[in-house]
């Protein structure tokens, strides 16, 4: 009898000490597993942290070498101040929560803009610290994004996504301004092929590091449908050949973040 009482008391105490179970997660049956990975997995956070940790270690070395540039073929770096270039989506700001909405509302540029302006941005782990350390070392930080600079019906301004992008970056812990955010179509010749904008930054700066989640954040001509100045369609073979061409840059000036959700690779799958 006494034993039963002690056991009962122990169970009551154990019950008190056990936290209430978490609410059951929403069913995500229709959501792509890559999107769920980016939204929920600790692994995604860990890979992002690892990429930026490597870059932070490399920063002093790449900064100290006055000849070094992360733009292949750019020889004209003498005397230019150092800069780094980051992409925005899946590089500084995660789109995983937005990607889930694609189950019921197909992607459009306006829907992406509208979702981003109405929701807090989810930071990519490590990006804000990278930006802080680069700036502390005297490096200027540019964002080259394929978010579009265009008017939207019923929205004020010719380029409303630029301010929303600046707001998103602030929500992700990064302060910046329009001068450092280079959008698609913001200037003539700035289409979604980012080479032109990298070269634009390189005219005034020594670009020492590139950060992105898409091959196109580093390598030019990565799409099946070529955009100027590219003339040949990318293929699986051409994209893989570029791995060898630029082998020295990966993890050494070029830092790629994981993105299993979208990207230029899907045009040649
Ligand atoms: Mg991106």
DSSP string covering 44-97: HHHHHHHHHHHHHHHHHHHHH-TT--SSTT----TTPPEEEEE-SBTTTEE-HH
Class for the domain spanning 32-266: alpha beta
Task: DSSP letter for 215, please.
Answer: G
Position with higher pLDDT, 25 vs 245:
245
Query: What's the pLDDT at 28?
Result: 78
Q: Ligand 1 centre and the CA of 191: distance in Å?
A: 15
| Global model pTM greater than 0.85 | yes
Q: How far apart are CA 75 and CA 67, in angstroms?
A: 8
- Look at residue 74 in the predicted model and tell me its pLDDT: 79
What is the pLDDT of the chain when averaged over all its residues? 92
Expressed in angstroms and rounded, the spacing between residue 183 Cα and the centre of ligand 1 is 12
Task: Give the count of alpha carbons within 13 A of 214, CB side only.
Answer: 26
Q: 145 alpha carbon to ligand 1 midpoint, in Å?
A: 7
Q: In sequence order, which residues have a C-beta less than 8 Å from that of residue 235 and are 6 or more positions away?
A: 224, 268
Per-residue pLDDT at 40: 95
Is residue 226's pLDDT more than 80? yes
Residues of the chain with pLDDT > 70, as a percent, come to 90
pLDDT at 1: 42
Specify whether the CB–CB gap between 133 and 59 falls below 8 A.
yes
**How far away, in angstroms, is 44 Cα from ligand 1 center?**
15
């Amino acid at each position: 009898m006494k034993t039963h009482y002690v056991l009962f008391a122990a169970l009551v105490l154990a019950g008190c000490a056990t936290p209430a179970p978490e609410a059951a997660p929403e069913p995500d049956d229709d959501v792509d597993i890559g999107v769920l990975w980016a939204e929920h997995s600790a692994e995604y956070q860990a890979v992002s942290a690892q990429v930026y940790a490597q870059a932070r270690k490399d920063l002093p070395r790449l900064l100290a070498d006055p000849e070094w540039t992360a733009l292949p073929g750019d020889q004209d770096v003498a005397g230019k101040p150092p800069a780094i270039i980051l992409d925005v989506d899946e590089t500084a700001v995660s789109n995983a929560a937005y990607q889930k909405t694609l189950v019921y509302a197909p992607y459009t540029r306006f829907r992406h803009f509208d979702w981003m302006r109405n929701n807090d941005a989810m930071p990519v782990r490590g990006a804000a610290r990278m930006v802080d350390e680069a700036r502390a070392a005297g490096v200027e930080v540019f964002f080259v994004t394929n978010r579009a600079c265009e008017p939207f019906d019923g929205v004020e301004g010719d380029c409303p996504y630029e301010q929303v992008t600046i707001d998103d970056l602030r929500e992700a812990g990064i302060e910046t301004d329009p001068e450092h955010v280079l959008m698609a179509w913001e200037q003539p010749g700035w289409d979604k092929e980012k080479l032109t904008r990298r070269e634009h930054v390189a005219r005034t700066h020594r670009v020492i590091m590139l950060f992105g989640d898409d091959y196109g954040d580093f390598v030019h001509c990565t799409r099946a449908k070529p955009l100027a100045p590219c003339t040949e369609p990318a293929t699986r073979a051409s994209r893989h050949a570029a791995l060898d061409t630029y082998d020295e840059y990966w993890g050494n000036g070029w830092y790629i973040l994981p993105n299993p959700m979208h990207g230029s690779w899907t045009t040649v799958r």
